[in-house]
Structure 1
Amino acid sequence: MSAIQAGSPHRVFLRGLPVELANRSTLQNICSAFGDVEDAWVRVVDRTAGLHESWSFVQFATGAGATSAAEAGQDIWERVAQAQGLQIDASSIKGTLLQSQKNAEGEVVAESVVLDALEAEDVGNFDFESFRERFSMWLGRPVLRRDAEIIFKVLHEHRPDATVHGILRSAKDMHDDDAPAGTDILLVMAYSANYAPGAVCQRVNYEYSRRHGYGFKCEVLTNEDMLAAISPRDALTWYKVLLLKRELSTETYKYVVWLDGDAAILDQDKSFESFIHQAKGRHLILQEDLSAECRVNCGVMIFRRSNWTLTLLRLLWEGNLSRRHHCKPYYASRTQMLQAAGTAPAGLSTK
């Protein structure tokens, strides 16, 4: 990463960059139409094309070049891009001419500065990526990794209600009503219609659920229908989160067990109650993965209906972690679940 030079007043902050411009060299070439470009820094936010939210600092050699870029409208951006052989929708691009930096490039942002900035944030809907963008523009320079470490330190010490762990802790402390009398466990599956193992596993798991008196639900959809349901996410594994969120929002079952489309219960005698008893009231029961690259395997999961699990699924579906990984096929199933849930003592078992 190049350094946006401290003290230079000829900087422009560009937000809402379309995916075609979210690249340092491409952006430098495009911005050269406004004046000589000395440097550029791009924060790439990995989202779908329709929700791309990358932003950038561009440093010009002259104030005239910076002013021209900051004041350029949609038509100018699209015309400049077209001259470089790119067809873009520039309606989301907004430019701001920056003043001299409030913090020099080599300085780590002070905790007091972070606290002041957090005062204006709605902690109930805190999004670190969006805060990083606004805070960077206010600083007049990029928020770098060392700054992010200070921000997280301040959040944990002074505003824990704005962190994922803090939100989940609060949800865990809330009273959870018991499920009504009746069958306590529901097994759920979902797979795309062209997925051959799905039908076989569905029959095996259905017979298991009948044997133990569990509820059973399986949804089979075309790829197109699944993608429409989870839009703008474009990885089918996100349907898992949607279905779990929907089923745990009802009050019919106390536990919901997710089974992947290729997961079949071979030991038909062993009940899910035995795992639930072993977990001693945990809200989420996960298993370790056989691969050293993945800490957990989300092919089979047991969720207890509670404020904690509903909050976890809401954060997965709506939160910053979700929006940054709409296009990553396996992220919802593994790494993101672990990141959102936190450490095992907070509410999950990996054994």
Structure 2
Amino acid sequence: MAHPQPRSSVAAIPAYVPGKPSTPREGLTTYKLSSNENPYPPLPGVVEAAHGAVSVMNRYPDMGNSALYAALSARLGVPVTHLAAGTGSVALIYQLLTAFCEPGDEVVHAWRSFEAYPIAITTAAAVSVPVPVAADGRHDLDAMAAAITDRTRVVLVCTPNNPTGPAVTQSDLDAFLARVPEHVLVVVDEAYLEFVRMDDAVDGVATYARHPNVVLFRTFSKAYGLAGFRVGYAVAHDPVAAALRAVSLPFGVSHVAQAAAIASLENEAALLERVDALVAERDRVVAGLADAGWTVPEPQGNFVWFGLGPRTPELTAVAEAAGITVRPFAGEGVRVSIGEPEANDRLLQLARELRP
């Protein structure tokens, strides 16, 4: 019997594998280190702002995100018309590909990189062009530039790269952009921007200002600890930002999410203290792993990467037995978020017990 059929590309969409929640264990506190979440509770004032927004849940949210755009404009020093919001930065990936890719257009991106990239590309009926990361987990920008063809419409640069950890330098990004045709959009995906501590770090706002074909993606999910509220934003020149807003889901970013994001921006000093604490824990974990004989790619996000290949299930199982849930990528490696000090201590203990 005949029945309705989805587009042929729908069947080819890879499944998104979310971070597995921790499994409760009697007598043992378990920790979820599989989703790169901020382990700290909401910032002071954020819960109160969210509660205030809940009191008018019978009303639609501001579809124009006007108060959020005003706060971001003041914080970043960019025009309001250069902003576009979405339900997390992942939604902006879908919006951008919907707005700029015809079926069959190519999208160049590093791999392994953010798991949603090939999903969103296939959903848009575009063609994924993955370029392997270097042995140290870094983007191979020379190879990515060489992969651009006359069918390329978008290039995705994830910095710091999820899940491997290293970030792109400003010098390397500038050299790469000089090789990218002006009609090709370059997304600088900065979901983990606040955790970067390195020389020659990318200045995303200055970079977008110099290049009309550069768009920044940022999120409140990671450093700001609003993962459950789903709010991200793009910074781009007028034509790009307008296109992102045109294809966005009406009323997509809830009133509660907008209020929480604005309150988070107002409490940025407290945020940066927490980020500094997480970065200090990250550095402690990396030093402890080195003492145990492990070498991991330079982490600039709130996670570390174990490129274990076929040994991936081994570390995953040992971590689960120790009460910490990690994020395995079958046949490639394991990503472990930086969490509470006790969780990080357990990671270091099992790292000492396992041989690299």
Highest relative contact order (Cα 8 Å, sep 6+), 1 or 2? 2
* TM-score (normalizing by structure 2): 0.22
Rg: which structure is higher?
1
